[in-house]
């Protein structure tokens, strides 16, 4: 067996009172460990787990599947677009095509032809009152617009 030429830290410090760890009380007993396992990860072991296990809290786990939400547009948004000239005008009506649901929030002051997947009850009344019309969006009309 070959002998070790370099002195180990242990062999250098043997026979000394503190053994290179400061006070004689240091590193004595299980209280020095700071808890078992993952105890103290958010407290005194924070820097350790931030470096070596950053995904410990919340990266993986169960996520309840929710409903897929349909995009919505409000009548006041459509009216604003018509006022600013951002909608295409065909004849005397502006045309607004939307792949979602139209909600009746606000008022229409311009005649608008709306093509959408769905709409709330009061939308039809407000659109007809403004001199517009509403139609169901189909796959054919999506390709045309």
By the 8 A CB rule, do 81 and 97 touch?
A: no
Is residue 50, in this structure, part of any structural domain at all?
A: no
Does residue 49 or residue 74 have the better pLDDT? 74
In the predicted model, what is the mean pLDDT of the chain? 87
Is residue 42, in this structure, part of any structural domain at all?
A: no
Is residue 52, in this structure, part of any structural domain at all?
A: no
pLDDT score of 68 more than 60: yes
In this structure, what CATH number is given to the domain that contains residue 95?
Answer: 3.100.10.10
Is residue 82, in this structure, part of any structural domain at all?
A: yes
Domain count, the chain: 1
- Of 136, 131, 129, 126, nearest to 98 by C-alpha is 136
Euclidean distance between CA atoms 124 and 103, whole angstroms: 10
pLDDT at 77: 96
By residue range, what is the domain housing residue 113?
72-144
pLDDT score of 25 more than 90: no
First-residue to last-residue Cα distance in the chain: 85
């Amino acid at each position: 067996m070959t002998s070790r030429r370099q002195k180990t830290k242990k062999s250098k410090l043997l026979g000394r009172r503190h053994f290179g760890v400061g006070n004689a009380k240091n590193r004595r007993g299980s209280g020095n460990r700071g808890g078992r396992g993952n105890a103290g990860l958010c407290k005194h072991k924070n820097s350790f787990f931030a470096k070596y296990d950053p995904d410990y809290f919340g990266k993986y786990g169960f996520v309840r599947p929710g409903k897929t939400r349909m995009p919505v547009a409000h009548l006041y948004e459509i009216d604003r677009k018509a006022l600013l000239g951002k909608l295409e005008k065909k004849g005397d009506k502006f045309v607004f095509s939307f792949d979602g649901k139209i909600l009746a929030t606000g008022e229409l002051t311009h005649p608008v032809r709306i093509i959408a997947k769905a709409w709330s009850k009061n939308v039809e009344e407000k659109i007809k009152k403004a001199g517009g019309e509403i139609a169901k969006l189909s796959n054919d009309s999506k390709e045309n617009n």
